[in-house]
Amino acid sequence: MAGADAIAHHAALDARLARAAKPIRLLSLASWPASEQQAFLAGWARGNPQLPRYQYPRLDFAEARRELSAIAAAADPTHPLGQYLVESAQGWVLAAELLEHLGTPQVTDLSIALFGTPDQALPGGATTREAANHFLRVADELDRELVADAQEVEVSAEALALRLQSALDEFFGGRVIAVELDPDLIAKAAAGASRIRLRAGAAFSDYDYQQLLQHEAYVHSLTALNGQRQPNLPSLALSSPRITATQEGLAVFAEQITGSIDIERLKRVSLRIEAVAMALEGADFVQVFRYFLESGQSEVESFTSAQRVFRGVPTTGGAAFTKDTVYLRGLIGVHTFFRWALKQGRLRLCRRLFAGKMTLADVQRFEPLFDSGDLLEPTWLPAWVARASALAGMLAFSSFASRIRLEQLGTDGGVLDV
């Protein structure tokens, strides 16, 4: 099978995959309701904190798993679309199995199969946990130097929602994404193709506004919207588990390259990685909660952070939901990929990452399909990637600056004179 027949065959399989995967809502089904936070913090205030013991719903995805396995068996693994479908179907099967085992230790192993561990290697040899500890050391050093400034002024969820909505309406030329307040949301924000939810009652900062705009709206929502417009591969609109590292890495990279990230944001990401490692090593929910609290987070944010680590697993220690390990690994992987694309003269691959939710390997395999028009170029792009010359300039400087070895420089400042 070749040419148009292969495209049609895999497009039909992809439509089946999108239908089969639709009910497998990994993060929402594994998360806890706001009532768990209220109960825990009430106990904490009394000096008698109790381990959360949320009773997860019993789920059965046997039919979906059978369909996904049939799709993988029918796909041609030698074709770019077939390879994508095989890997995607396998990822969704693992996600379905994880949801079927919510509340049990087996979730840890399934989570690791999907998202990796804190000890997973990064490009260059260091581990994810080592990178996290580097950023934590830098943040701790800077905490003694930096003082609160205007950027730390709190903004209400209502005010932030109005500001985000105005920016998005201007970007799209109309109402494409709705910004909503959600009192039941434990995370501060969540993004989909058509809406971005903010936790009602939460306090935000100006950095939060920029981070939400660049990370949630201009990456997570834009890739979903562009994926919906793919006639031959509509599953590119879905948050498939296998694309999580690339998707989150691209989103954090967007924060970095637009100056929308601060050291406190990197600290939060790094704290979560260390907390996952602690939980895997035996720390229970209360111990992880205390770790976040002692690291400077509020009680509400400490609960939110600890809840991320214990989604779907027993809270007694020795188990963890490891998704938060992908953020730094994804960031470093995406940054390395962008520099490689510049060196190879293939920056258009960076823009094509926004044509849907895909991995770095996918976008390279899909290159002939983009060139032939079987896959569509992204309709919407954030400004930083749309301006190829500006992106090239930033990457060229980053590539050269990375060669400088700071340990070889003097400490008296004179050697740095220009």
- Taking the chain, what is the end-to-end CA distance rounded to the nearest angstrom? 62
Q: Is the distance from CB of 365 to CB of 80 less than 8 angstroms? A: yes
Q: What does the domain layout of the chain look like in residue ranges?
A: 3-49+56-401
Residue in the structure block whose two tokens are 């500006």? 390
**Is 327 buried (19+), middle (13-18) or exposed (0-12) by CB count in 10 A?**
buried
Can you give the pLDDT at residue 36? 94
SS3 of the chain: helix, strand, coil, percent, to 5: 65, 5, 30
Q: Is the distance from CB of 68 to CB of 88 less than 8 angstroms? A: no
Can you give the pLDDT at residue 407? 57
The total of other beta-carbon atoms located within 10 Å of residue 186's CB is: 19
Cα–Cα distance for residue pair 231/126, rounded to 1 Å = 40
Can you give the pLDDT at residue 67? 98
**Is 323 buried (19+), middle (13-18) or exposed (0-12) by CB count in 10 A?**
buried
The total of other beta-carbon atoms located within 10 Å of residue 136's CB is: 17
* pTM for this predicted structure: 0.90
Cα–Cα distance for residue pair 262/390, rounded to 1 Å = 21
Q: Is the distance from CB of 302 to CB of 40 less than 8 angstroms? A: no
Q: For residue 231, how far is the Cα from the chain centroid?
A: 25
Residues in the chain: 418
**One digit per residue, pLDDT tens: the chain, 418 residues?**
668 899 999 999 999 999 999 999 999 999 999 899 999 999 999 999 999 999 999 999 999 999 999 999 999 999 999 999 999 999 999 999 999 999 999 999 999 999 999 999 987 778 999 999 999 998 888 765 554 444 467 889 999 999 999 999 999 999 999 999 998 887 788 888 899 999 998 888 878 899 999 999 999 999 999 999 999 999 999 999 999 999 999 999 999 999 888 888 899 999 999 999 999 999 999 999 999 999 999 999 999 999 999 999 999 999 999 999 999 999 999 999 998 998 899 999 999 999 999 999 999 999 999 999 999 999 999 999 888 777 777 777 766 766 656 455 555 544 444 4
**Is 3 buried (19+), middle (13-18) or exposed (0-12) by CB count in 10 A?**
exposed
Can you give the pLDDT at residue 201? 86
Q: Is the distance from CB of 320 to CB of 280 less than 8 angstroms? A: yes
Q: For residue 348, how far is the Cα from the chain centroid?
A: 22
Q: Which SS3 state, helix, strand or coil, does residue 156 take?
A: strand
Amino acid at site 358: M
Q: What angle do CA 315, 318, 321 make, to 5 degrees?
A: 65
Can you give the pLDDT at residue 418? 45
Cα–Cα distance for residue pair 217/223, rounded to 1 Å = 9
Q: CA 253 → CA 80, 221, 336, 337, 414, distances in Å? A: 26, 15, 11, 11, 33
Q: Is the distance from CB of 381 to CB of 103 less than 8 angstroms? A: no
Where in 77-177 does DSSP place strands (E)? 155-156
Can you give the pLDDT at residue 147? 46
124 HSE (CA, 13 A, CB side): 13
Q: What angle do CA 301, 305, 307 make, to 5 degrees?
A: 115
Q: Are strands 155-156 and 203-204 parallel, antiparallel or unpaired?
A: antiparallel
Q: CA 32 → CA 185, 187, 383, 405, distances in Å? A: 9, 10, 36, 46
Helices 3-21 and 80-100, packing angle to 10 deg: 10
Q: Is the distance from CB of 177 to CB of 195 less than 8 angstroms? A: yes
Can you give the pLDDT at residue 399? 66
Can you give the pLDDT at residue 13? 98
Q: Which residues contact 351 (CB under 8 A, 6 or more apart)?
A: 377, 378, 381, 385, 386, 388
Helix (H) or strand (E) segment spanning residue 203: strand 203-204
Cα–Cα distance for residue pair 194/237, rounded to 1 Å = 11
Q: Is the distance from CB of 320 to CB of 291 less than 8 angstroms? A: no
Cα–Cα distance for residue pair 217/59, rounded to 1 Å = 31
Q: Is the distance from CB of 270 to CB of 133 less than 8 angstroms? A: yes
Residue in the structure block whose two tokens are 């949801």? 99
